[in-house]
């Protein structure tokens, strides 16, 4: 088999294939490259790919011809390289492609050029976008963009498995925004939505990466707090309560504030999702009955809590100030 056979073979594979010399001038351009980019071989052979042709950019829009060019890297270090980039189509739009670059060596092992093979990644990217959109529709609350009830239930099941296997305790906080219906009636649902976002973002910025916030429904939220004992759970709840109380929206030069009532309890191994949520919900209503804007802690938590260090006991707020259910 001669070189012409191999050239014909490369010419007709569906992937884009092109060769460059040491100066990154294009010396070969197959039909796959023509189809994916819109450029014919007559338009590109003899030119550099950066000459207003491919001009690759990454996910952040950085021009790789300036910094991070895959061809330049391979010509420099002789290593194969794989990367996902966006090339410039002749019609002006960007095309996501998976790129593989390999060096071309002479008999002495010196780099005399490189070959780039690239595949149209549009379908893959679109599938990822569709999956991400589906995930959001299934698991995210559309207004607040935190987890919804289904998402919360999945996370709770996982936490119980974690507790059973590794003895890692967790607790939940059930929060309800005080007088929210009256607030909505007074200021309107648009401002009410802004309040929900304010509360959600405040909580999200206070909890750790391992913790979870979800919207249970309406103005009710549930927070899963992982690897905590009685005192730590109470401190997290009180911190959230204080931060929400000290947040506000400015509307027509008026500062609007809300408070929350919170019920806090640790999960038990014999709990179900229903029993855990019901207990936390009942504790939250005790906070309502106690005047709102407070935390009610499960009175049975003392038998479930782990020893607390002296350093933890010395933190700012004494949890004895928090009401026990």
Residues belonging to the active site = 219
Please check whether residue 42 is in contact with residue 55, taking contact to mean a CB–CB distance below 8 angstroms.
Answer: no
What CA dihedral angle connects 77, 83, 89 and 90, to 10 degrees? 10
Report the sign of the C-alpha dihedral through residues 188, 189, 190, 196, in that order: positive
3-state secondary structure of 46: coil
Structure tokens at 299: 């009175």
If one counts every other C-beta atom within 10 angstroms of the C-beta of residue 319, the result is 19
Distance CA 78, CA 106 (A): 12
Tell me which DSSP letter residue 57 carries. Answer: B
For the chain, helix, strand, coil in percent to 5 are 40, 25, 30
Question: CB of 195 within 8 A of CB of 258?
Answer: yes
Instruction: Write 316-323 long-range contacts (CB < 8 A, 24+).
Output: 317/235, 317/238, 319/231, 319/234, 319/235, 319/238, 322/234, 322/237, 322/238, 322/294, 322/295, 322/296, 322/297, 323/286, 323/287, 323/290, 323/294, 323/295, 323/296, 323/297
CA-CA distance, 199 to 176, in Å (whole number)?
10
Measure the CA–CA gap between 45 and 20, rounded to whole angstroms: 9
Pick the closest to residue 90 from 15, 14, 36 (CA basis): 36
């Amino acid at each position: 088999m001669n070189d012409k056979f191999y050239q014909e073979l490369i010419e007709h594979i569906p992937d884009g294939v092109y060769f460059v010399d040491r100066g990154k001038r294009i010396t070969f351009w197959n039909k796959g490259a023509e189809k994916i980019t819109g450029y014919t071989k007559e338009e590109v052979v003899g030119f550099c790919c950066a000459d207003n042709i491919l001009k690759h950019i990454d996910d952040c829009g950085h021009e790789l011809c300036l910094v991070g060019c895959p061809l330049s890297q391979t010509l420099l270090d002789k290593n194969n390289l794989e990367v996902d980039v966006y090339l410039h189509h002749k019609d002006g739009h960007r095309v996501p492609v998976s790129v593989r670059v390999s060096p071309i060596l002479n008999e002495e092992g010196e780099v005399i050029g490189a070959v780039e093979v690239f595949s149209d990644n549009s379908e893959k990217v679109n599938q990822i976008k569709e999956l991400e959109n589906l995930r959001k529709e299934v698991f995210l609350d559309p207004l607040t963009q935190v987890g919804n009830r289904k998402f919360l239930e999945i996370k709770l099941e996982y936490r119980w498995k974690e507790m059973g296997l590794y003895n890692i305790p967790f607790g939940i906080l059930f929060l309800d925004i005080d007088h929210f219906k009256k607030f909505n009636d007074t200021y309107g649902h648009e401002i009410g939505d802004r309040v929900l976002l304010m509360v959600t973002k405040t909580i999200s910025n206070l909890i750790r990466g391992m913790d979870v916030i979800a919207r249970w429904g309406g103005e009710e939220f549930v927070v899963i707090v992982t690897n905590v004992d009685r005192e730590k759970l109470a401190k997290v709840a009180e911190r959230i309560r204080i931060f929400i109380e000290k947040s506000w929206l400015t509307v027509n030069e008026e500062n609007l504030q809300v408070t929350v009532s919170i019920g806090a309890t640790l999960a038990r191994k014999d709990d179900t999702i229903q029993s855990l949520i019901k207990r936390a919900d009942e504790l939250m209503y005790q906070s309502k009955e106690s005047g709102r804007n407070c935390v009610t802690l499960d009175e049975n938590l003392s038998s479930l809590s782990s020893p607390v260090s002296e350093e933890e006991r010395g933190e700012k707020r004494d949890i004895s100030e928090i009401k026990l259910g």
